[in-house]
Structure 1
Amino acid sequence: DKMGVEAAHVHLEQVFLEQHYYDVHLNVIRLGREVCHARKPECLICPIRHHCSYWKDEREV
């Protein structure tokens, strides 16, 4: 399911402890730069692909 920025913030705050917010933030940015590109994402090497709707949708095609 897609969620907006605010909903994503609320969700992540429920999943991670506050002391980890900055590290999670940096790692999500790194994931986007190195793996989850807007064009041709490298899903096969993505460590969180099983939680990703794009990965799931692409596999059903």
Structure 2
Amino acid sequence: PAMTVEQAHDHLAALFPPEDYGPAHLNLIRLGREVCHARKPDCPRCPLRDLCPYPAQSNEIE
């Protein structure tokens, strides 16, 4: 299900202890800039590919 930006923020904040949320947030931004590009994600390089439904939905080859 799709989330708004606010809902995603609240969801991610609940997944991490408060002291880890800031670094996790920055690392997710970095992941989006370097690996998980909106138009052409580099799924084989992604450290989260085992958790992500995108490769299976898009027939990405690992």
TM-score, normalised relative to structure 1: 0.79
Unmatched tracts of structure 1, length 5 or more: none
Q: TM-score, normalised to structure 2's length?
A: 0.78
Residue correspondences, number: 60
- Alpha-carbon deviation of 1:45? 1.2
Q: Residue 43 of structure 2 aligns with which residue? A: 43
* Matching of residue 3 in structure 1 with residue 3 in structure 2: yes
Aligned residue runs from structure 1 range 7-18, under 5 A? 7-18=7-18
In the alignment, structure 2 segments of 5+ residues that lack a partner are none
The structure with more helix, counted as a fraction of residues: 1
Q: Quote the RMSD (CA, aligned, Å).
A: 1.8
**Cα distance, 1:21 vs. partner?**
1.4
Please identify runs of 4+ aligned residues in structure 1 that moved more than 6 A: none
Q: Which amino acid aligns with 2:20?
A: H
Q: Distance in 1 between matches of 2:53 and 2:35?
A: 15
Q: Percent identity?
A: 53
Structure with more contact order per residue of length (Cα contacts < 8 Å, sep ≥ 6): 1
